[in-house]
Chain A
């Protein structure tokens, strides 16, 4: 029994070792693209921020009207106040404090704390919704290509129908009907966003299906299961990774957009929610909207750079 277990462990470690070599090969190729490396570094930073950042920041939900609309330390600002007793306008310059390094919003919540917890929420939304979309897309795409015939037809026409609905309107509708909870939003994005992935993976699998090494495996007498799981899927994994990387930003944007038009989950501080709360005070305290905006911008850019780099690295024909 123990010997069997040892065997299994040995086999797994052997497999991992082999895969590290392949991963290493692709890493070497990705590494040549400086922008992709920068993107990856930023994403790793964000993930770390999302996981351990909240331990070091203030409570992002703590409301403190004493310290509302505090500017960040890098941006001293002037505040107009109307004194009821004297009936005069006074201006006073206020400077940010290191306690609230990135300022506070109109309810006195710490911006840094909100951005950090926003990173966690936005990344989670991006990853989970993309995960759902990609899994659905892969199953539908690969199955459609491999089965062919009427099954292919049915699945692809269903995909076409899904594609005819404007993505964002559908999202708005679902959230409007089922409520504004984050889980619903994530699910809605995942369930509507798989169509592109399904189409790409179908066409890739179709071309793989006629490649000689698949024919060669069939000539050895391999079953359909083996062909799909040992040869087709491993060969589309690179494409899956690229599609996933490139669709995470659109998911983050979609969530932000939903929040911005007031359909976000206000109980969670995602970047979109912060952005939305900042739009009313854009003139007096612009940092409340600008800071999450910059975060979204950088994140989207980072994922796109990484996705482009990965696509080149995975393409055996590109000579980098």
Chain B
């Protein structure tokens, strides 16, 4: 049974800057299955956003370049397909929702203009039909009085509302895949809860396949089906969310979980991972995590770990399990 809608294999995106080569994404593998919510988890600089941008080739090039790997979608390799074909896929088959709701909306056009434009770009409909559709979408993401919001300019909306508008825009052409890049990071707790709720609703109502990028494991626990934990441009652990939370294998994953202050109880000191995330220009030899790893062995500083299968669904890149 092959129900993968998107398969990323050995993806490598490098940025060639004046100071050296930044291996932002350095050999990432995962597949997105129909109707699931796959979470890419990691801290700043781990390559999760660049991975998502690489799927649609949306990063700045130069300096960025995909040097190796495949992104298979619908029998097509998105890495190699012509940009004209890719433009048809962007927004229509695979849509993206960005983190910065402020800057992702054009301040001089109304909300209605921006959504209808998006619809008309990919679907041959008249203005009236597009407008109807836009209103339906806005109400679907929980915007009250959607009709009047259509004539608003972005600055008239709050941060949470803008984030919803962006989600509505992402949904406008019934994409098969939605990529959401930290949609809950820049908003308040109560708004975060609302937005997570929207994603949960969408999953049940539309059977949408979603790639959800976040640094927050608690968010992953709430909405994710499977998760890919990333560190230093590589996927270090891939497993169903329940496994990640309850049975994490990679020391980095368990470290991240231990770091989270739990709202349910209060203990004295928090557990922390020593050190800082590595400088992308000076990645440590061997396993990128070894300088911070409590279980580091001699081999970790010399050799890069390869993928080990823990169970059918649980894979980890760590010398502890080889």
Residue numbers of A with Cβ under 8 A of B are: 32, 319-320
Compute how far the CA of A32 lies from the CA of B63 in the bound complex, rounded to whole angstroms: 14
- Within B11-29, which residues are at the interface with A (CB < 8 Å)? 17-18
Cα separation A320 to B17 with both chains bound (whole Å): 6
Distance (whole angstroms) from the CB of B228 to the closest CB of chain A: 27
Residues of A within 8 A of B17 (CB): 319-320
Residues in B with CB closer than 8 Å to A32 are: 18
Chain B residue contacts of A319, Cβ below 8 A? 17, 63
In this complex, what residue of A is CB-closest to B63?
A: A319
Chain B interface residue number, banded: under 10
Least Cβ–Cβ distance between A320 and chain B, in angstroms: 5
The docked-state distance in angstroms from the alpha carbon of A320 to that of B63 is 10
* Distance between A199 CB and nearest chain B CB, rounded to angstroms: 24
CB neighbours (8 Å) of B18 from chain A are 32, 320
Q: Which residues of B approach A to under 8 Å, CB–CB?
A: 17-18, 63
Q: Which residues of B contact A320 (CB under 8 A)?
A: 17-18
Q: Give the complex CA separation of A319 and B18 in angstroms.
A: 8
A residues within 8 A CB of B63? 319
Smallest beta-carbon distance B50→chain A, Å? 14
B24 → A minimal CB distance (Å): 12
5 CB contacts below 8 A, A to B, read A32-B18, A319-B17, A319-B63, A320-B17, A320-B18
Please, which residue of chain A has its CB at the minimum distance from the CB of B15?
A319
Question: For residue A32, which residue of chain B has the nearest CB?
Answer: B18
A32 to B18, CA, bound (A): 7
Q: Which residue of B lies closest to A33 (CB)?
A: B18
- Which residue of chain B lies nearest to A319 when distances are taken between CB atoms in the complex? B17
- Shortest beta-carbon contacts, A-B, top 5: A32-B18, A320-B18, A319-B17, A320-B17, A319-B63
Q: Which residue of A lies closest to B18 (CB)?
A: A32
Residue of A nearest to B17 (CB): A319
Nearest residue, chain B, Cβ from A320: B18
A319 to B16, alpha carbons, bound, how many Å? 11
Q: How far, in whole Å, are A102 and B297 apart by their CA atoms in the complex?
A: 73
Question: In the complex, what's the smallest C-beta–C-beta distance from B11 to chain A, in angstroms?
Answer: 22
Report the bound CA distance from A202 to B18 in whole Å.
32
| CA of A77 to CA of B154, assembled, Å | 69
Cα–Cα, bound, A32→B17 (Å): 10
Tell me, in angstroms, the Cα distance from A319 to B60 when the chains sit together: 12
Shortest Cβ distance from B60 into chain A, in angstroms? Answer: 10
CA distance A319 to B281 in the complex (A): 13
Q: Chain A: which residue is nearest B22 at the CB level? A: A319
Q: In the complex, how many angstroms separate the beta carbon of A24 from the nearest chain B beta carbon?
A: 14
- A31 smallest CB distance to B (angstroms): 9
A249 and B190 alpha carbons, distance in the complex (Å): 56
> Complex formed: what's the CA distance from A320 to B15 in Å?
11
Smallest beta-carbon distance A319→chain B, Å: 6
Report Cα–Cα, A320/B18, bound state, in Å. Answer: 5
How near does chain B come to A32, taking the closest CB pair, in angstroms? 4
Q: Closest CB of chain B to A33's CB: distance in Å?
A: 9
CB closest residue in chain A, given B60: A319
Q: Measured between alpha carbons, how far is A63 from B182 in the docked complex, in Å?
A: 77
Q: What is the bound-complex CA distance between A32 and B16, given in angstroms?
A: 13
A319 vs B20: C-alpha distance when bound (angstroms): 11
Q: Would you give the shortest CB distance from A37 to chain B, in whole angstroms?
A: 13
Distance (whole angstroms) from the CB of A29 to the closest CB of chain B: 8
